[in-house]
Amino acid sequence: MQDKIEKVANDIVEEAVSILDYSFTFSKEISISVKGLIFVVVALILSTFLLKLVRRVTTRNMPKNDQLKFVGVFSYLKWFVYLVIFLVGMHTSGVNVTAVFAASAALLIGVGLALQTLFQDIISGIFILVDQSVHVGDIIELEGKVGRVLDIRLRTTRAVTVDNKVLVIPNHLYLTNILFNWTENGTETREFVDVGVAYGSDVELVKTILLDIAKEQPTVLKNPAPMVLFRDFADSSLNFRVAFTLIDSFDVRFTQSNIRFEIDKAFKQNNITIPFPQRDVHVYPTNGYEMMKEKSI
């Protein structure tokens, strides 16, 4: 009875060994055994647990914003580590990795060209996260579009406009275009409204009206105080600029609109005219017209 059991056990072991030694052959130079596949899968699973442990230990004492940025970078580094472990595991299992790369060289070149923009976005995303040029909550202007940054990822940046529309910005645009960060120096920004008045207007009265209107706006900061600049003697008007400081420039267009409404109202009450370009046209008779006139007489 015991001999039969040992024989069955030996048969099972031999069958298992034969299964593990079974090889999948793709070509003369490329083949892998079941044992090698199991080794690669186990290596990847162990790597997953180790990477999670490293991420938890590294981000444990980080601020929340830095944690999100680190996780974004780490997610791409994780796939790079997986690739390295996969190739090492395949090589250890007896697979000719060089032959695999040689067989797929044309495919890899094609994929690389197709994903060129994607790689640019990823590299740009790493630069943004490393040099801290843009942060979540910043108000940025890119290609004439203004938005508040909601999320920075390695490939794209999401921002919401004043109209509550979401901008999805490919990160490579940061490297190929001029980026205006309105809040790089803080949340306070200097804004202005321009207006022209007719020649002969009381410029001191204009200055007083503009200052009073700016100071009455609830969104305008008292310190630094608003100021008025006499900008130029233009062709048709005396040009002024009222400058003021806002704590949140994201809604600047509403403050500017309110100030313009009040300026129009105050100027009408004080008989101050906002001019528009005018031209005087003088018509002089030509010599031919005079000669024809003399002949007709």
- Residue with the bigger pLDDT between 13 and 43: it is 43
Strand (E) or helix (H) holding 2: helix 2-21
> Which of 5-9, 55-59, 187-191 bottoms out in mean pLDDT, i.e. has the lowest?
5-9
Across 41-45, 143-147, 248-252, 281-285, which has the greatest mean pLDDT? Answer: 143-147
Side chain identity, residue 204: E
Query: What is the structure's pLDDT at 280?
Result: 67
- Cβ-Cβ contacts under 8 Å for 8 (sequence gap 6 or more): none
Q: Tell me the C-alpha distance between 134 and 201, whole Å.
A: 46
- Residue with the bigger pLDDT between 114 and 146: it is 146
Question: What tens digit of pLDDT does each residue of 208-262 get?
Answer: 999 999 999 999 999 989 999 999 998 889 999 999 998 877 778 889 999 999 9
Reported for 39-45, long-range contacts at CB under 8 A and 24+ positions apart, including other chains, are 39/89, 39/92, 39/93, 40/86, 40/89, 40/90, 40/93, 43/85, 43/86, 43/88, 43/89, 44/82, 44/85, 44/86, 44/89
User: Tokens 């796939």 belong to which residue?
Assistant: 79
Q: Tell me the C-alpha distance between 107 and 160, whole Å.
A: 39
CA 151 from centroid of its chain's CA atoms: 8
> Which of 50-64, 88-102, 192-206, 246-260 bottoms out in mean pLDDT, i.e. has the lowest?
88-102
Q: Tell me the C-alpha distance between 229 and 152, whole Å.
A: 39
Q: How confident is the model at residue 178 (pLDDT cuts 50, 70, 90)?
A: confident
Query: What is the structure's pLDDT at 229?
Result: 95
pTM for the predicted model, two decimal places: 0.54
Across 181-185, 187-191, 258-262, which has the greatest mean pLDDT? Answer: 258-262
Query: What is the structure's pLDDT at 215?
Result: 93
Q: How confident is the model at residue 11 (pLDDT cuts 50, 70, 90)?
A: low
- Residue with the bigger pLDDT between 48 and 197: it is 197
Q: How confident is the model at residue 39 (pLDDT cuts 50, 70, 90)?
A: confident
Torsion sign over Cα 169, 172, 175, 178: negative
- Residue with the bigger pLDDT between 125 and 36: it is 125
Would you call 64 helix, strand, or coil by DSSP? Answer: helix
Query: What is the structure's pLDDT at 247?
Result: 83
Question: What tens digit of pLDDT does each residue of 280-290 get?
Answer: 677 766 655 55
H helices of 28-137, where?
A: 34-59, 64-92, 97-103, 105-114, 116-131
Question: What tens digit of pLDDT does each residue of 111-126 get?
Answer: 565 567 777 777 777 7
Strand (E) or helix (H) holding 150: strand 145-152
Structural domains of the chain, ranges and CATH numbers in brackets = 2-103 (no CATH), 132-181 (2.30.30.60), 189-269 (3.30.70.100)
The chain-wide mean pLDDT, for the chain, equals: 77
Q: What percent of the chain has pLDDT over 90?
A: 23
Across 16-25, 89-98, 246-255, which has the greatest mean pLDDT? Answer: 246-255
> Which of 6-15, 81-90, 215-224 bottoms out in mean pLDDT, i.e. has the lowest?
6-15
- Cβ atoms < 10 Å from Cβ of 22: 10
Sheet holding 179-181, edge to edge: 166-170, 156-160, 145-152, 139-142, 179-181
- Cα angle: 192, vertex 198, 201; to 5 degrees: 95
